[in-house]
Every structure is written in C-alpha cells, then in structure tokens.
Amino acid sequence: MSVILLCVLSLVLAGSGLHGRNASVSHEYCVLGAGPAGLQMGYFLSRSQRDYIILERNAGPGSFFQIYPRHRKLISINKIYTGRRNKEFNLRHDWNSLLSDRPNLLFQRISRELYPNADDFPRYLSTFVKELGLKVKYGADIGRIKASDFNGNQGYILTDQNGVSYQCSVLLVSTGLWVPQQVDFLGSDLVEGYESIPTDPEEFKDQAVLILGKGNSAFETAQSILGRASRIHLYSPSPVRLAWQTHYVGDLRAVNNELLDTYQLKSLDGLVEGRLEDIAIVRREKDGGKRRTLYLTLTELLDQNGNNISKVTGQNLPGFHTDNFSLRQPYDRVIRCLGFRFNFSIFDGSARPPQSSGARGRLPGITAWYEGRGTPNMFVLGTAAHSRDYRMSAGGFVHGFRYTVRAVHKILEQRYHNIAWPATKLPISQLQSWILRRVNEASGPYQMFGVLGDIILLRGSYCEYLEEFPLQALPQLSALSGRPLTDHGLLVLVMQYGLNRTDTLGPGRAESEWTKAWRPNFLHPVLYYYNTLPTEKDMRQRPVGWPLPRPEAVHHMVEDFLTEWDQPISHSQPLRRFLEHCLQTDLRAFYAESCFLLSLTSRTPPLFCRQGYLRKQGIVGNSHLWQHAREAGLMADHHGDITPGHDTSVSEYLKHADAAVVSAMNFDL
C-alpha cells in the first residue's frame, strides 16, 4: 500500500511541476523570460510544434510592466480606429498587440485608450498565453547559464533557484532590460533611483528636485510632479532629443514633454548638459542642522582625497568660483532616471555574450541574425536585441521586435529543421502589383524601417518574394533562408526615412513632386537592385545612413502625406519604369482584347499577355467573343458561323507560347 501511495505522490508532484533538487529537464528550445518577446517566440514555436519551454522567474507574464513605467502610462500607441479593416494595415498603428493567427487576440480587447495604463499589458499577455496554450513555467528564477557540449554542438544548461537544470540545444534569451543603469560618482548613495521613488506627487510638495537623465523616464517623473515641486532641473550629458524630430520612438515623446513649456517659458524648470562622471552630490546642513540640502558640485573642487563629501565649504561648490553657475541652488532630492541595462550576471564565462559597442555597453553584442557573438545557438530577442538598430528603428519596442522575433524563428526553422524561408512565387508580370500591395499594407517593414526588408529573388520569367528579411544579414541570405541566388540578381524593398534634415515643422519639410522623390524627408519605400549579392565588406563600407550598400540601380517612391502609395502618375508609373529598366522587359498591363490583337500581329507579345491571357487567364474564347472581334475589326470577316473549335491557329499558338507561372492576382488595389 505504501508503494502505491508513493507512486501517487510522485505523479502529483510531477503534475504540479515540482522537481527535486538537482533534477534535470531537457528541451530543444529554452526561452528565457515570459515578456512580450518570449511569448511571441513561444507562439511561433508552438505553431511549428517544436519542443520548447518558456521559463519565467515571476508568477505571471510581463512582470516588468507591473512596475514600469512608474507612473503607469504607456507611451505605445493603441490606435483602434484607422478607417480600415485590413488587419495587416491596422498593425501599423497598434503598438501593443503580438502576432498570432487569432484575429481577435489584439490588445484592444483589454484597453481602448490611445495611451493605455501599464496594468493592462500583463493582463493582455496573460490572455495571450491562456488562449494559445503556451508552455510557460513560472517561478523558475534562472541564476546561472553555462555552455555545454551536446553531441558535438554547443548547447546550454540553465539552473534555477531550486537547483533544477534545464538543458537545451538552442537558448532564446528574452529577459529584456531591467537592471537600473547607474553611474558611479561621489555621493551617488544620496541619489534616489527611478525604480524606488514615490509616485505620489504630494510627497514632492514645494521641493526642489534634480533629475539625472533626459529620457522618457526622466520626463515622465518630472511631469508627474510638475504641479507640486518648486523647481525641477534635468541634467545629463546629451541635449534632449525629441521623437518627432529624430523619428526614433525611444526619444522623448510628446506625451511626456510638458516640462519643455515651463523651461522655455521661464517658469523655474530647466535642462542642463554635463558629464555625470565629473559630478559629485554633497550634503550640507542648514538652519542649525534642522534641514539637510543637496548640492551638485564637481569632483575637482573637492579635497584631493575626495572622500569627505558630507563636510564641504562654499569653496567646494561651483557657485563660489562662477557666480552664474546654472545649478548653484540646493536641492531637496536628486533622482536617477538613466534607463536600464541587460543582466549579464547570470551567464558564466562559457556562455556570456559580449557587451555591444553602442548604447554604453548596456546591451549584448549580437550578429545581424540575432545570434550572440561567440555564443553559437544562443539568440537574443526583444528589447535586449536592440543593439542591431539602436537609435535607428523600433527593435527595442513591442511594435518592432514582434517582427524581428518572427524573422529569427524563420532562421531557426531553416538552420535546425531545413525548412526554407517562406516565399511567394510570382510571374514577373505581377511583381509591380505585389510590391504596391506590400508598401500599402505591410506592417513589418513599416515599423522596422531600414532593418527588415522584402527580398525579391529574380528567376527570369518569375521571381520568389521573401518578406521581412534582416537587411544587415543580406550577405548570408542563401545560408539563412535556404533560398539560392541566380545570375538574374535580386531586388530589395525597404521603408526608410530621408537623410535630408530640415525644420521638422517648417516649410519644405516634405517632398510631394514625384520627379524629386530621391530627396525625401519622411518614411517612404525604396527599391535597390543588385546583380549579385552584396558582401560583408560591402555592408561595412556602405554610405553613412544607408541601410544597404550602393546598388546597380535605386528607386525612391515619393513620400506621401497619407502614406498611400497608390496613385498612377506619382507612384505606379515610376515604379513600373524602374522595374522595366532592371528586368529589361515590358511590364505594362493590357486588356484581353489588346492581348488578343498583339498575339495575332507580333511574334513576341508583351510579357503580361504571355503570362496571363495566353495562359488562358484572359477571357475564354466563345462565339460571342469571336463575333465581337470581327465587328471590332480585330479579325478578318469569314463566311459562315466559325467557332473557336473550328480554327486551331490560336490553340496552336498557345501551345507553343513561352509562358510562366500562373497566378490569379487581383490588380485592383
């Protein structure tokens, strides 16, 4: 009886997900972190029926958003009403939803606010997990990751707080950035952190506040206390960068920038630039020790040892030497709002990715296909992978990395399962219409502008269309996609902003003349044509600001105020002429009657006719059509009632016509 009870107890423990210390679990894929990037990858792995597990240290998904932003307003747009019903188009303006095959599994089910409350996002992620049945193990706090050899390939072993080991052939790191960024300077222990400051504005009533930083977290904090603090100063090395000027969503958003008004209209608040490494925060007692105030000073003004910062005199302060020093007045509080960094501490030496060269080393260094540098079979997803497009595109945010995660999944499918990158096979005659559809609807290249692009592999009379490939990995296209290149070359479709910097809100800020499409300012489609695949050297030596090396030919579609590239003169006709130049063929569309006439009068009818009408994609011949052709003068009049079945000349021509792939493309955009 005791044996039976022991067996039952073991089954109960196994079903509850409990493991004994030093237990080991194996999976093909381990996804570290149940934030939006981890869940997005979990969806793709689940849809492909792969062996995976998502490990999350907290009790639910999206735990970062249960704390941040501290003042609970998201700055990601939740635009529900676009006037369109096209789901793909609407994702261009939905910055919170994850990708799935469920048309109703969108963030708007949870919130209909343009800037939602942060509490809504974990609720949405929980709904995403539940309705898709994703395999998430909560309460698994991974404290150590090491590399290990699995059958000659590098894999990884993850160990949690209970000593349970998770072995995986491929590790997908989606932990985000959650370690507060700090700068070591004298008096930094007197500074409060963004992660712990009170959020009740009344606690800042009539206080002078110095905020270190000029990003969204700094301005969010300032805005929350703007009506209570006596004065607010923001200090950092760089001037404030406005998102509506830089087109980078991570720069200061208008929803947080009310302090710019009080600064420019001289209402006690202000912005100052200076190196954080050169400052010191010192404390001085006033009113006989009843009040302690904080001063910002420079380390060079302190004593030589620089270690007695609690007993300073006036000579140790910048105001003594420069009586017009901007920050000479004391502060009641100093708050650090410098953002977050990647947690490198859980990786041992065998598995630790290097720090990226940009973003002050806050992010891991990864390849153009999001694999850790020096850490094979470990890929970095989500915000932590933002080093590939830092300050360039939206890869650090949900509406950007949901597409880079999808691209990484396609790479995984090719590398580990020999499933080539999905491609649409098109006759060349339909390429223009397909491109126009993509530039008017596709959300991936629109959000990840300059980073993800559509690749068109030319195959002669037809082409293969690959969507949303990482542009910086273009030299490795064949290996990563499983799609070989031919000597016909390729086209690359990219969405990008112009390089002509102008007054963002001034006259001349936009270009509407299609003959000057090459000098735009706003987001617009660009096509690059290459005879051969660019090399890694070509990518390194590409012009500054260009997403790709110089091509054999390039075409800019003029920017459009409505972001609708569908006008015949400004958009369609210039695009067709560019494609005809690259492909050396006539891409005009013809009515069936014209194809009929050209087929009878020319040895080489236009490509459109050969790939459509002459492949029986035009109007099917019958007695009424033949009668109409005679009455229209397209055919000589014959005596008697002649039907198509009585004349084999057309059928013989069709039999020997050079035709390509058949596709029923709708040309009505």
- Which are the contacts of 532, defined by CB distance < 8 A and separation ≥ 6? 485, 489
Q: Which SS3 state, helix, strand or coil, does residue 176 take?
A: coil
- Residues 269 and 266: their CA atoms lie apart, in Å, by 7
574-585 exposure pattern, b = at least 16 Cβ within 10 A, e = fewer: bbbebbeebbee
Which amino acid, residue 224?
Answer: S
- Residues 421 and 443: their CA atoms lie apart, in Å, by 18
Q: Are residues 334 and 294 in contact, defined by beta-carbon separation less than 8 angstroms?
A: yes
Would you state the pLDDT for residue 637? 59
The pLDDT-based confidence of 21 (bands split at 50, 70, 90) is low
Rounded to an integer, the average pLDDT of 444-463 is 96
- Residues 372 and 381: their CA atoms lie apart, in Å, by 10
Rounded to an integer, the average pLDDT of 426-430 is 93
Q: What is the pLDDT of residues 217-233, one digit of tens each?
A: 999 999 999 999 999 99
Rounded to an integer, the average pLDDT of 498-527 is 82
Would you state the pLDDT for residue 15? 41
The tokens of 389 are what? Answer: 């497009």
Q: Which contiguous run of DSSP H or E holds residue 427?
A: strand 423-427
Give the chain's largest Cα–Cα span: 121
Q: Are residues 228 and 209 in contact, defined by beta-carbon separation less than 8 angstroms?
A: no
Nearest 10 degrees: Cα torsion 148, 152, 153, 159: -20
Would you state the pLDDT for residue 305? 52
Rounded to an integer, the average pLDDT of 238-265 is 93
- What's this model's pTM, rounded to 2 decimal places? 0.86
Q: Are residues 236 and 214 in contact, defined by beta-carbon separation less than 8 angstroms?
A: yes
The pLDDT-based confidence of 9 (bands split at 50, 70, 90) is very low
Q: Are residues 608 and 617 in contact, defined by beta-carbon separation less than 8 angstroms?
A: no
Q: Residue 254: count other Cβ atoms within 10 Å of its Cβ.
A: 11
Q: Which domains does the chain have, with CATH numbers?
A: 24-178+341-411 (3.50.50.60), 188-336 (3.50.50.60), 421-502+509-583 (no CATH), 592-655 (no CATH)
The tokens of 208 are what? Answer: 């002078």
The tokens of 233 are what? Answer: 């100063």
Helix axes 398-417, 36-47, angle to 10 degrees: 40
The pLDDT-based confidence of 288 (bands split at 50, 70, 90) is low
What Cα–Cα distance (Å) separates residue 585 from each residue in 388, 492, 532, 579? Answer: 38, 19, 19, 8
- Evaluate if residue 669 carries a pLDDT over 60: no
Calculate what percentage of the chain has a pLDDT beyond 70: 86
Q: What is the pLDDT of residues 53-87, one digit of tens each?
A: 999 999 999 999 999 999 999 999 999 999 999 99
What Cα–Cα distance (Å) separates residue 590 from each residue in 22, 315, 363, 586, 636? Answer: 71, 85, 54, 11, 22
**Residues facing 340 on adjacent strands:** 180
Q: Are residues 125 and 135 in contact, defined by beta-carbon separation less than 8 angstroms?
A: no
- Specify the higher pLDDT residue, 241 or 626: 241
C-alpha gyration radius of the chain: 31
Would you state the pLDDT for residue 300? 86
Would you state the pLDDT for residue 642? 39
Would you state the pLDDT for residue 179? 94
DSSP string, 441-462: H-SHHHHSTTTEEEEEEE-SSE
Q: What is the pLDDT of residues 540-586, one digit of tens each?
A: 999 998 999 999 999 999 999 999 999 999 999 999 999 999 999 99
Q: Which SS3 state, helix, strand or coil, does residue 613 take?
A: helix
- Residues 232 and 216: their CA atoms lie apart, in Å, by 15
Would you state the pLDDT for residue 634? 60
Q: Are residues 219 and 252 in contact, defined by beta-carbon separation less than 8 angstroms?
A: yes
Q: What is the pLDDT of residues 105-120, one digit of tens each?
A: 999 999 999 999 999 9
Q: What are residue 280's phi and psi, to 5 degrees? A: -145, 145
The tokens of 204 are what? Answer: 């800042």
Calculate what percentage of the chain has a pLDDT beyond 90: 71
- Evaluate if residue 658 carries a pLDDT over 80: no
Q: Which SS3 state, helix, strand or coil, does residue 79 take?
A: coil
What count of Cα atoms within 13 Å lies in the side-chain half-sphere of residue 417?
16
Would you state the pLDDT for residue 667? 34
As a residue count, the chain comes to 669
Would you state the pLDDT for residue 602? 87
Q: What is the pLDDT of residues 38-57, one digit of tens each?
A: 999 999 999 999 999 999 99
- Residues 404 and 451: their CA atoms lie apart, in Å, by 9
Q: What is the overall mean pLDDT for the chain? A: 87
- Residues 187 and 194: their CA atoms lie apart, in Å, by 17
- Which are the contacts of 524, defined by CB distance < 8 A and separation ≥ 6? 495, 496, 497, 498, 517, 556, 557, 558, 559, 560, 565
What Cα–Cα distance (Å) separates residue 513 from each residue in 290, 563, 571, 630? Answer: 69, 15, 11, 45
The pLDDT-based confidence of 369 (bands split at 50, 70, 90) is very high
Which amino acid, residue 322?
Answer: T
- Evaluate if residue 659 carries a pLDDT over 50: no
Q: Which SS3 state, helix, strand or coil, does residue 363 take?
A: coil
Rounded to an integer, the average pLDDT of 254-260 is 94
Q: What are residue 629's phi and psi, to 5 degrees? A: -65, -40
